[in-house]
């Protein structure tokens, strides 16, 4: 089991992870929709196993400015989770949640960032909740941390965690719309032992 690599996990269980991603992202969008009090539509999430070098390109380049919300995961499974959204989308969400109270351009000052952190908290909370319900595992998120920076720099944090046991990163891209089209990215980073626990809890023993 300790020899298991991420590639093996995803080769065998790609569909399951995809479905978990789908349900998690769906729940996250429902939570977002309730918070914004409007309808939020989403496309079927894309679950991809990417080489490190491909990840930045996918988000519009390593230097694309993004907002990243990062939190630790504890309980029956351990690891961390990240939610990323592109700068303009984040500004839109912040304006929406603060009901246009912030002057345009000031979204990434203290008030706006605090609002964004709350958005990230609710979205990731809903995501993890659905995972917890599905697997019947206890999943406790730590308070989130937030940063606004280049995509590559933000991604280095989960990439390093993935890097410990492989050369790929498992990314869940979820596209959603309210008035504008937004791209959000979920990266669930369970410790390797936790992959086995998640799959085991779903009644799928690892070979």
Partner 1 sequence: MSEIIKVGMADLKTCVSPNGITTLGLGSCVGIAIRDPANKIGGLAHVMLPDSKSIKGSQTNIAKFADTGIVELVRQMEKLGAQRSRMVAKIAGGANMFNFHGTSSFGQVGDRNVEATKAKLGELRIPILAEDTGKNFGRTVIFYPETGDYIIRAVGKPEYKI
Q: Interface residues with partner 1 (CB under 8 A)?
A: 2-3, 5, 52-53, 55-56, 61-63, 65, 68, 70, 72, 80, 142-143, 145-157, 159-161, 163-165, 167
Kindly state the helix (H) or strand (E) to which residue 94 belongs, with its residue range: helix 87-97
Radius of gyration of the chain (CA): 17
Provide the minimum distance between the beta carbon of 189 and partner 1 in the complex, in angstroms, as a whole number: 10
- How far apart (Å, rounded) are the C-alpha atoms in residues 48 and 138? 26
Provide the minimum distance between the beta carbon of 140 and partner 1 in the complex, in angstroms, as a whole number: 13
Provide the minimum distance between the beta carbon of 99 and partner 1 in the complex, in angstroms, as a whole number: 27
Provide the minimum distance between the beta carbon of 120 and partner 1 in the complex, in angstroms, as a whole number: 12
Strands 65-75 and 79-86 come out as antiparallel
Contact (CB, 8 A) for 131 and 64: no
**What is residue 72's DSSP assignment?**
E
- How far apart (Å, rounded) are the C-alpha atoms in residues 205 and 101? 51
Whichever of 80 and 89 has its CB closer to partner 1, that residue is 80
Whichever of 53 and 136 has its CB closer to partner 1, that residue is 53
Whichever of 111 and 150 has its CB closer to partner 1, that residue is 150
């Amino acid at each position: 089991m300790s020899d298991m690599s991420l590639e093996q996990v995803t080769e065998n269980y790609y569909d399951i992870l995809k479905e978990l991603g789908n349900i998690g992202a769906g729940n996250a969008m429902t939570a977002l929709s309730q918070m914004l009090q409007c309808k939020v539509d989403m496309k079927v999430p894309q679950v991809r196993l990417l080489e490190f070098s491909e990840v930045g390109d996918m988000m519009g380049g390593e230097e694309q400015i993004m907002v990243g919300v990062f939190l630790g995961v504890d309980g029956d499974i351990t690891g961390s989770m990240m939610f990323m959204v592109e700068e303009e989308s984040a500004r839109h969400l912040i304006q929406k949640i603060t009901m246009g109270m912030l002057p345009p351009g000031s979204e990434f000052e203290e008030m706006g960032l605090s609002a964004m952190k709350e958005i990230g908290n609710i979205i990731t909370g809903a995501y993890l909740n659905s995972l917890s319900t599905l697997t019947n595992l206890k999943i406790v998120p730590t308070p989130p941390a937030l940063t606004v920076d280049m995509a590559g720099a933000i991604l280095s944090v989960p990439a390093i965690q993935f890097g410990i046991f492989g050369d790929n990163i498992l990314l869940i891209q979820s596209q959603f719309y309210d008035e504008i089209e937004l791209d959000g990215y979920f990266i669930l980073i369970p410790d390797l032992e936790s992959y086995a626990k998640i799959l085991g809890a779903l009644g799928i023993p690892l070979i």
